[in-house]
Amino acid sequence: MPTKARRLLIILMGLVIVSTLHFSTRTDGATVHAWHIFFRKLYFIPIVASAVWFGISGAFITAFTAISVYSIHMWLNWPSAHMERMNQIGEMGSFLILAAVSGVLVTLENRYREKADRIQREAEREKIGTAVAALTETLGARDTETLDHSKRVAGLAKGFASFLEFPAEELHDIYLAGVLHDIGKIGIRDDVLLKPDTLTDEERHKIMKHPEIAEHILAPIGFEKVVRYIAAHHENMDGSGYPKGVSGDQIPAAGRVLAITDIYDALRSGRSYKGPMSESTVRQIMTEMAGKKLDKNLLNKFWGYIDSSGYTAPLEPG
């Protein structure tokens, strides 16, 4: 599809070419006069092209431009016969009629296409919602703590991203990433995933595989952005994270948001193997992570979001 500037140039060139052909064709014989009339009809092409590319307003602008140029030709070659004059005036009127008809048809087509796209997006959202519900329930059947944590992280991440003025469409993807960020733990054995004691190095290594497992689970469904955000939520700013060891701006902003909210909720809420930490302790621990594990600038804004939103951790220390 040509750019807007190129489209304008094509339409302008079309008007110039048609005008040149029409103006330069003689009318002193039946055959050449027929060509003269034929070339005049070619003004329809840039008018219709303008309707397709710029809508009804573009079609009318082009039609009025064609009429203006054609009027010069009429003034220079004003026909002596009354019927011929009326024919040429009617021809100019046909430019406006064509602009109106083509513009309306294009407008109706665009509305139909937008409606079809909206229906398709709604169907996709419904499909995604069904898939998310099924996956989260599957995880919840094995580990209710992880499921509850995921739901809290999703709400917290979406709220923080909204506070940062992320686009609305990205808020939806961030929420899904929050709900599903630990879905890869479905692929971890119960004796490792639900172990109440400290994990061994080997067991910790298995747990660290869950972002990659999540990618294998979600990629076939088409969650491209969601997969990318989930894959990034254990990456560290200094490159020491996993699974790819990327750093800094190589980590998507949504992934950095997810990392902050994930750690915050994990520290603030209680688990079967640990109690919840106080807000002051959590802030101290996460501040020490700034610039290493977490994005320092985003973390400072996160505290502003927590303070301004009045967010309350699910489980307060006893």
Domain locations in the chain as residue ranges: 4-116, 143-309
In the numeric block, which tokens belong to residue 191? 């004796």
Using CA atoms, how far apart are residues 214 and 206, in angstroms rounded to an integer?
A: 13
Mean of pLDDT over the chain: 83
Question: What mean pLDDT is predicted for residues 215-227?
Answer: 79
pLDDT over 50 at 317, yes or no? no
- Active-site residue, selected from the candidate residues 41, 185, 225, 293: 185
CATH class of the domain at 143-309 = mainly alpha
Q: How many CB atoms lie within 10 A of CB 259?
A: 27
CB neighbour burial string for 269-285, b if at least 16 within 10 angstroms, e if fewer: bbeeeeebbebeebbee
pTM, whole model, 2 decimals? Answer: 0.60
Q: Where does the pLDDT of residue 316 fall: very low under 50, low under 70, confident under 90, or very high at 90 and above? A: very low
Q: Could you tell me which residue, 56 or 140, shows the higher pLDDT?
A: 56
pLDDT over 80 at 144, yes or no? no
**pLDDT recorded at residue 302:** 96
If DSSP codes are grouped into helix, strand and coil, which group holds residue 13? helix
- 185 given a catalytic annotation: yes
Q: How many CB atoms lie within 10 A of CB 8?
A: 15
**pLDDT recorded at residue 247:** 92
Question: What mean pLDDT is predicted for residues 212-220?
Answer: 79
Query: Which strand (E) or helix (H) includes residue 125?
Result: helix 82-142
Compute the CA torsion angle 148, 150, 156, 157 (nearest 10 deg): -170
Q: Which residues pair with 185 in a beta bridge?
A: none
**pLDDT recorded at residue 87:** 72
Question: For 118-136, how does the pLDDT look when each residue is reduced to its tens digit (9 = 90+)?
Answer: 888 777 767 766 777 777 7
